[in-house]
Amino acid sequence: MMEIKTIGIASDHAGYALKQFVKQYLDEKGLAYKDYGTYTEESCNYADFGHALARGIESGEVYPGIAICGSGEGISMTLNKHQSIRAGLCWIPEIAHLIRQHNNANVLVMPGRFIDNDTARRIMDEYFATDFEGGRHQQRIDKIPL
């Protein structure tokens, strides 16, 4: 099982409702979290909250992270601009397993407009339960930063 500190969470307006469910899930699991915003469904920019979450992970304040926007793509692109962030977009549990096992993803990204709460729960269960395999996968990860 992955090492968990305080979990960082972030979303834009399109991911806000699912983020509220994520907070409920984390509360049920007894896992601490820090919410980097947004705090309403009012239209906003995913990059503002993605960068805040990435900085929280980079500073060691939180680990891992969960991020949500409408498609999951915009906030993933933002997060992955940071050299130490490996954000993986998941819409089924099997992908959550692989982003942990093979990519050692430190941010789980979900598409708020395309998955329901039950699917999100199964994705998070899989993400948190899966360890990084290392070995040849670490060699690949080492080649990511520019």
Q: What is the pLDDT of residue 69?
A: 98
Work out the percent of the chain whose per-residue pLDDT is above 90.
95
**CB-based contact 125:88 (threshold 8 Å):** no
Mean pLDDT estimate for the chain: 97
Q: What is the pLDDT of residue 2?
A: 73
Q: How far, in Å, are 44, 50, 120 from residue 37 at the CA level?
A: 10, 9, 19
Statement: the pTM of the whole predicted model exceeds 0.95 = yes
Question: What's the CA gap between 144 and 111, in Å, rounded?
Answer: 24
Going 95 to 100 to 101 to 104, the CA torsion angle's sign is positive
Report the pLDDT averaged over residues 73-79. 98
Q: What is the pLDDT of residue 98?
A: 98
Catalytically active residues, by annotation: 69, 102
State yes or no: pLDDT of 42 exceeds 80.
yes
3-state secondary structure (DSSP) of residue 29: helix
Q: What is the pLDDT of residue 134?
A: 92
State yes or no: pLDDT of 89 exceeds 70.
yes
Confidence of residue 146 (pLDDT cuts 50, 70, 90): confident
